[in-house]
Amino acid sequence: MLSLKALAVAAGSFILATSPTLVAAADCYNDCGSPLTSIQHAYDALGEYCGTDRWQKYTDYTSWDPANGKPLAMLNSKPGANGVQVCWDGYGNIIYQCRLNGYCRGVYKYNGVIYSIGF
């Protein structure tokens, strides 16, 4: 049985290979030092934000990593825009390209909306 992390990585690879919304890469930054939250928590926060109606209502969402009490901050410049699939794809793109490679922050832009995560 695959772990949640392995499934998320596999799903991210599949999405990157097949989804037309992920043509552009995320911009990744290390201007804030090392990531503070775990990869697992990044995927959990993705589900908390895009898997509920939060993506339609809130420009910012903070989720606290239960393993170490550190915050993960998600920003969305236009809540509800582009549909829920772009929410999953955009933030998944940031996690897959930025957090899995050790960056502390990532930004994804699509159709006039800016999606950002600070790890």
Closest of 11, 27, 29, 30 to residue 19, by C-alpha? 11
**Please, which pLDDT band fits residue 35 given cuts at 50, 70 and 90?**
confident
Residue 35 contacts residue 103 (beta carbons within 8 Å): yes
Mean pLDDT of the chain: 84
Top pLDDT among 5 and 91 is at 91
pLDDT tens-digit readout, 42-61: 999 999 999 999 999 999 99
Q: Can you spell out the DSSP letters for 55-87?
A: HHH-SEEEEE-TTT--EEEEEESSTTTT-HHHH
Top pLDDT among 91 and 34 is at 91
pLDDT tens-digit readout, 56-88: 999 999 999 999 999 999 999 999 999 999 999
Closest of 41, 3, 23, 32 to residue 93, by C-alpha? 23
CATH 3.30.430 fits 4-118, yes or no: yes
Q: Is the pLDDT of residue 10 over 80?
A: no
**Domain ranges, ordered by start, for the chain:** 4-118
